[in-house]
Homo-oligomer: A and B are copies of this chain.
Amino acid sequence: MTESAPPPLPDDNRQALCQVALACRKAALATSLDGRPYVSLVTVAFDDDLSPILLLSQLADHTRNLAADGRAALLLDGTDGLDNPQTGPRVTLVGVAAPDDAPRLRARFLDRHPGAREYADFADFAIWRMRLDKAHFVGGFGRAVWFDAPLVRT
Residues of chain B within 8 A (CB-CB) of A74 are 39
The 10 A-B residue pairs with the shortest CB-CB distance, nearest first, are A28-B28, A30-B39, A1-B81, A30-B37, A30-B30, A84-B115, A39-B75, A26-B85, A39-B73, A37-B73
Closest to A39 in B: B30
Residue numbers of A with Cβ under 8 A of B are 1-2, 25-26, 28-32, 35-41, 43, 61, 69, 71-75, 77, 79-81, 83-87, 90, 92, 94, 113, 115-116, 119, 136, 138, 141
Contact among B36, B87, B92 with A40 in the assembled complex (CB-CB below 8 Å): B92
Complex: A6 Cα to B130 Cα, angstroms: 33
- Asked if B94 and A38 make an inter-chain contact with CB atoms under 8 angstroms apart, the answer reads yes
Tell me the interface secondary structure of chain A in the complex.
strand
- Asked if B116 and A84 make an inter-chain contact with CB atoms under 8 angstroms apart, the answer reads yes
Residues of chain B within 8 A (CB-CB) of A26 are 77, 79, 85
Contact among B38, B61, B90, B116 with A30 in the assembled complex (CB-CB below 8 Å): B38
